[in-house]
Structure 1
Amino acid sequence: MKCRKVQIASRQIALRRKEFDILALLAEHPGWVYTKEQIYQSIWCEEVPVDVDNAVTCQMKQLRKKLGENPKGTPYIENVWGVGYKFSHGMNERSGTG
């Protein structure tokens, strides 16, 4: 059985289903940049289409707020201007695309 819990240091983070799914997608390949469309297709795959930009942006805003900053003092989920989002755990990461 998969454990759907997020803990940073000793702090338990309560995430909604889609927030957790987005975090899991991004954290699977730290440093890879995912477009909003890629995130939407992976997370909302069987649901009725909605405004992709708004759906992903709202989830990201809440997720970033809940996670806070990594050890480098930057957000765990970084916005890559004009492209999308990537997970940054604060360590040296390889760049790539998702």
Structure 2
Amino acid sequence: MRLLLVEDDDHVAAALSAILARHGFRVTHARSGEEALQALLPADAPPHVSPYGVILLDLGLPDQDGYEVCGKIRKRTSTPVIMVTARGDVRSRIHGLNMGADDYVVKPYDTGELLARIHAVARRTGPAPEEAGGPGSGNGATAPALVRLGPVSIELPTRRVSVHGKDVQLTRKEFDLLALLAQRPGVVFRREQIISEVWRTSWEGTGRTLEVHVASLRSKLGMPALIETVRGVGYRLVTPAAP
């Protein structure tokens, strides 16, 4: 997912950008409100179409107030905005939400919580434009009902999985995990993202559960190499080579 970070402090922006990059985000850094608005909708972009999945917006910008920037963003695009600021009083939060922010995070914040909030607003608003229309997809395209990965077949409507034509019995969470990874074979899903999507909770205390479910899937499918562990990041589904 592409993410626009609007932050005037270069040190803060560099540290946060590095963390976000490690979790799979492609970050564009804007140091002012005007720079953010120019990055949000380039001159050659279609009206109201933003290349970003989420915007992290600081309020203390050098050229204009962050609330004002949020209002301008809302007139141009529906891209979700998370205000990230040291202004923690209730009045400031209410004003930010009334100006069109989708969420409000107070500095200093826990990085895990910020990541969870990014995924939450992204889920509510749907995939970013670049993710919604990949190669071969058109406007309004829906996810396929059947996913084939070599000998593995995943029937999403019936929640049926088979390997070489033989049904494999999976638990509800095992199927949800496999279906999530199968959405984009070869793409690394972060542990935090998987926990958020499949278990609808935060990462804390759930990491071991994820590892157990991955091990169980590998065993039941009889294909240990199908789900690859990306050390320090998460997991991805490896498309089996053609025989």
TM-score of the two chains, using structure 1 as the length reference = 0.78
Q: How many Å separate the matches in 1 of 2:203 and 2:188?
A: 23
Q: Flag the 1:68–1:48 CA change in 2: closer, same or farther, 3 A.
A: same
User: Are residue 82 (structure 1) and residue 225 (structure 2) matched?
Assistant: no
User: Are residue 58 (structure 1) and residue 201 (structure 2) matched?
Assistant: no
Contact 2:227/2:236, CA 8 A, preserved across alignment: yes
Equivalent pairs counted in the alignment come to 87
Q: How many Å separate the matches in 1 of 2:239 and 2:226?
A: 6
**Residue deviations 1:29-75, cap 9 Å, x none?**
00010111110000111x69761211111111111111122xxxx61
Contact 2:192/2:202, CA 8 A, preserved across alignment: no
Contact 1:36/1:52, CA 8 A, preserved across alignment: no
Q: How many Å separate the matches in 1 of 2:213 and 2:194?
A: 11
One of 214, 221, 226 as aligned partner of 1:67? 221
Q: How many Å separate the matches in 2 of 1:11 and 1:42?
A: 28
- 1:2 aligned counterpart, secondary structure: coil
Q: Flag the 1:48–1:35 CA change in 2: closer, same or farther, 3 A.
A: closer
Unaligned runs of 5+ in 2: 1-155
Q: How many Å separate the matches in 2 of 1:49 and 1:77?
A: 20
Contact 1:4/1:20, CA 8 A, preserved across alignment: yes
Q: How many Å separate the matches in 2 of 1:78 and 1:49?
A: 20
Q: Flag the 1:53–1:32 CA change in 2: closer, same or farther, 3 A.
A: same
Between the two structures, name the one with larger relative contact order (CA 8 Å, sep ≥ 6).
Answer: 1
Amino acid aligned to 1:4: R
Amino acid aligned to 2:225: P
Identity across matched positions, percent: 37
Unaligned runs of 5+ in 1: 93-98
Q: How many Å separate the matches in 1 of 2:202 and 2:230?
A: 27
Deviation, structure 1 residue 79: 0.7
Who is 1:95 aligned against?
none
Structure having the higher Rg: 2
- 1:32 aligned counterpart, secondary structure: coil
Q: How many Å separate the matches in 2 of 1:81 and 1:50?
A: 18
User: Are residue 7 (structure 1) and residue 162 (structure 2) matched?
Assistant: yes
One of 35, 42, 47 as aligned partner of 2:197? 42
**Residue deviations 1:3-47, cap 9 Å, x none?**
1000111221110000000000000100010111110000111x6
Q: Flag the 1:6–1:49 CA change in 2: closer, same or farther, 3 A.
A: same
